[in-house]
Amino acid sequence: MISYDFVQELADKATKKGKCISALVLADQALQMERSQQDLIEEMNKSLQVMAEAASKGLNSGSKSASGLSGGDALKMKQAIHAGQSLGGMVLSETLAKALAIAEVNACMGRIVAAPTAGSCGIIPAVLLTLKEAYDLTEAQVVMSLFTAAGLGMVIAKKASISGAEGGCQAECGSAAAMAAAAAVELMGGTPQMSAHACAIALKSVLGLVCDPVAGLVEVPCVKRNASGAANALIAAEMALAGIESVIPVDEVIAAMKAIGDAMPKTLKETAEGGLADTPTAKKMAREIFR
């Protein structure tokens, strides 16, 4: 049985057994849940289908949310890509577009998979689905990589938090990016140790990020933070795959995130009383929405 207390434990066990983190997590979860591995794979595959549907829906809809605060950005991104305006290469641009798309579907009360939360639901699918298309990976490979993401996410949830109300946006979009980075490394053939470093690198980049949604709604800055979270995951994975290591070990980074989250004032943890939510423009918008 795995305790899910340390990411390093996952990486070391996988290394010792010559397995991927995903295979380790899948085998353990099948045991703990008393279900067959095939059964878990099928359930995870369902989530992947919902993720893909949300991405394609969001890329084509362009509709606004009920509050009017978000919507239409994914479509703009897609049009820019079609017009050949990609600055950072197609993988990055396509990732941004999908992350925006899924987050917009969420804001419009569409169907998504919380990963790990609804607010951060665009990050993991945007990264993994884009890599799948760009590098001709199979659906089965992507499903497996979701077990890596989930395994690391369980550690983060246990030792720190995955909720904006508890730990700020570092805990939501930060955790999603860290999980996506580790999964992306595995998907692209990196080692379990590289996955652990990617997780640490992604998380370190957003330590301290507060949760400050305008009017308390999961839209501004959330939709665009899904895009930046996905980009964060890609760059962390790319560095880790190049052999770059995190100087601070991954589990110490997670502990630091927890400490920072605890020290964060309540006004910056989803209460919409501080940060961007407390700007004149945000307050004006909130008044109009809730009039």
- For residue 158, the partner it binds in other proteins, ligand SF4, none, with Cβ less than 5 to 8 A by kind, is other proteins
Least Å distance, CB 270 to ligand SF4, is 5
- For residue 169, the partner it binds in ligand SF4, other proteins, none, with Cβ less than 5 to 8 A by kind, is ligand SF4
Binding of other proteins at residue 202 (CB under 8 A)? no
Contact segment (CB under 6 A) with ligand SF4 among 38-46, 71-79, 191-199, 209-217 equals: 209-217
Angle value at C-alpha 105, between 199 and 207, nearest 5 degrees: 25
Mention every residue, 6+ apart, whose C-beta is less than 8 A from residue 189: none
Contact segment (CB under 6 A) with ligand SF4 among 78-86, 216-224, 246-254, 258-266 equals: 216-224
Instruction: Give the residues across from 211 on adjacent strands.
Output: 269
C-alpha 16/C-alpha 215 separation (Å) is 49
Binding of ligand SF4 at residue 177 (CB under 6 A)? no
# residues near ligand SF4 by CB under 6 A: 14
Place of tokens 């305008």: 214
C-alpha 131/C-alpha 42 separation (Å) is 21
Angle value at C-alpha 77, between 150 and 73, nearest 5 degrees: 80
Contact segment (CB under 6 A) with ligand SF4 among 40-48, 90-98, 153-161, 206-214 equals: 206-214
Least Å distance, CB 243 to other proteins, is 28
Half-sphere exposure of 279 (CA within 13 A, CB side): 11
Which backbone phi and psi does 193 adopt, to 5 degrees?
-65, -40
Q: Binder to other proteins among 43, 133, 262, 288 (CB under 8 A)?
A: 43
Binding of other proteins at residue 7 (CB under 8 A)? no
Q: Binder to other proteins among 115, 160, 184, 268 (CB under 8 A)?
A: 115
Mention every residue, 6+ apart, whose C-beta is less than 8 A from residue 13: 2, 24
Binding of other proteins at residue 67 (CB under 8 A)? yes
Contact between 257 and 207 under an 8 Å Cβ cutoff? The reply is yes
- For residue 207, the partner it binds in ligand SF4, other proteins, none, with Cβ less than 5 to 8 A by kind, is none
Binding of other proteins at residue 44 (CB under 8 A)? yes
Mention every residue, 6+ apart, whose C-beta is less than 8 A from residue 150: 25, 179
DSSP letter assigned to residue 174: I
DSSP letter assigned to residue 64: P
Contact between 76 and 119 under an 8 Å Cβ cutoff? The reply is no
Q: Binder to ligand SF4 among 2, 21, 124, 222 (CB under 6 A)?
A: 222
Residues lying near ligand SF4 in the complex (CB under 6 A): 119-120, 164, 169, 172-173, 211-213, 218, 221-222, 225, 270
Residues lying near other proteins in the complex (CB under 8 A): 4, 25, 29, 32-33, 40, 43-44, 46-47, 50, 65-67, 69, 105-119, 121, 124, 146-147, 149-151, 153-154, 157-158, 162-163, 165, 179, 215-219, 289-290
